[in-house]
Chain A
């Protein structure tokens, strides 16, 4: 695949074009946007699979919560099948599962959504490559420079160290930070287990931005 740029990225101190970004208000959210068990399901039905809560905080590099961040997620269903016309995996679609959800962080950077645990799936890379169970994340913080796209993995999944996409991350610690931990303290008894996943957005390369933040 001839897609990755071959030349070095050009380092650019942030200007106002990079430190600004649109605002996403909580009023744009529908009631079920953060509930993938129900947001595509027929009335009275729900998605098939292990019910889980995924929650955490969006932080900046100082550890401060990023408020008003837009968190958009997508995933395969419990059998590892995506609802997409280019998807060819033989696992069946779940008629009650669409696969998209979104939330906006609160004042302290907290977000949460409810879903089913996605299944692992094979993909045509090597002869027998499987993706670990994962949820795709897109995060929009305060500035266009902070835009992030990543994936969340599940603690204890033996496929994580085997995955070529995970292996593009050279650093074990960075892989650990993309792995959500089971949090029995946040579980909803008799309903859903909870996985905790914090996300850190990139810092600002310019004193312009830092000065602004300290003034707030």
Chain B
């Protein structure tokens, strides 16, 4: 195809800087009255189907210090494994579940928290079911690009063992960086930017 010879190049990425909140969560940082509410602050409507869970974690630097100026976004399927997206062609997703969330890490403790539901399984490219997972995107001062990763669920051992993405990770010792342990209704997912426990980030 001739077009493929002169494709445009993706615009270069630049760091979110220290004041990303002003643009993406202005109410969180005290700029009230411009937008009614910060986007992505609520994923689950009252009538949403599925098991209510909490996903909680920190973004941690190479000195083991949690970042207090990071911003995290998540994207996930509904309880039946359908995405609430115009690009979803397999059926209509639960209208009471947005699937997308945005949270700034807390300026004191550095935690992000999402009240969400347990996602259903969605198919890999070849049709095999992937294990339930949540897609993450992280930006912060000092990182030039948005970082993509995935969170899998610690109590889904069987599904995780057959997940096509987890299976193709060569360095098996790094797989646990993508798996969040469960404690009650809460999954804890700490994202390590550097160091021995550096989380696997994806180039998608």
A and B associate in one complex: yes
Where the two chains meet, the residues of A that have a C-beta atom closer than 8 Å to any C-beta of B are 1-7, 9-23, 30, 32-33, 39-40, 59-63, 72-74, 82-87, 98-100, 102, 136, 138, 142-145, 147-151, 165-166, 168-169, 171, 174-175, 177-178, 199-203, 205-206, 208, 212
A192 to B7, alpha carbons, bound, how many Å? 33
Enumerate chain B interface residues (CB-CB to A < 8 A).
Answer: 3, 7-24, 26, 29-31, 33-36, 61-63, 67, 69, 73, 75, 77, 83-89, 98-100, 122-125, 130, 133, 135, 137, 139-148, 150, 165, 169, 193-195, 198-204
On whether the beta carbons of A16 and B123 are closer than 8 Å, the reply is: yes
Partner of B143, one of A3, A100, A102: A3
Q: Is the CB–CB distance between B169 and A136 below 8 Å?
A: no
Q: Nearest chain A CB to B147's CB is how many angstroms away? A: 7
Given A2-B193, A100-B34, A147-B137, does the pair A174, B9 have CB atoms closer than 8 Å?
Answer: yes
List A contacts of B9 (CB < 8 A). 61, 174, 177, 200
Contact B142 A6 (CB under 8 A): no
Give chain A nearest CB distance to B109 CB in angstroms: 16
A148-B135 in contact (CB<8A): no
8 smallest beta-carbon distances between A and B, as pairs: A74-B23, A2-B62, A20-B85, A3-B142, A9-B203, A22-B100, A20-B83, A151-B14
Q: Among B11, B16, B87, B139, which residue has its beta carbon within 8 angstroms of that of A200?
A: B11
Closest to B21 in A: A84
Q: Which of A3, A6, A82 has the most CB of B within 10 A?
A: A3
If over half of B's interface residues share one DSSP class (helix, strand or loop), that class is named, otherwise mixed; here it is: loop
Tell whether, in the assembled complex, residue A9 and residue B20 are in contact, meaning their CB atoms are under 8 Å apart: no
Structural contact, B33 and A201, CB atoms closer than 8 A: no
Residue of chain B at shortest CB distance from A131: B17
**A202 CB contacts on chain B under 8 angstroms:** 10
Determine the chain A residues whose CB is within 8 A of the CB of B33 once the complex forms: 40, 98
Closest A residue by C-beta to B15: A165
Question: Is B61's CB under 8 angstroms from A3's CB?
Answer: yes
Q: Given A6-B198, A9-B203, are A169 and B12 also a contact pair (CB < 8 Å)? A: yes
**CB pair A82 B19 closer than 8 Å:** yes
Cβ B146 vs Cβ A148 within 8 A? yes
A147 touches B14 (CB 8 A): no
B198 x A17 contact (CB < 8 A): no
Cα–Cα distance between A99 and B36 once the two chains are bound (Å): 16
Which B-chain residue is minimally distant from A16 (CB atoms)? Answer: B122
Report chain A residues within 8 Å CB of B99: 22
Are B23 and A2 in contact, CB atoms less than 8 angstroms apart? Answer: no
Q: Could you say which of A15, A61, A100, A149 contacts B10, with CB atoms under 8 Å apart?
A: A61
**In the complex, are the beta carbons of B201 and A9 less than 8 A apart?**
yes
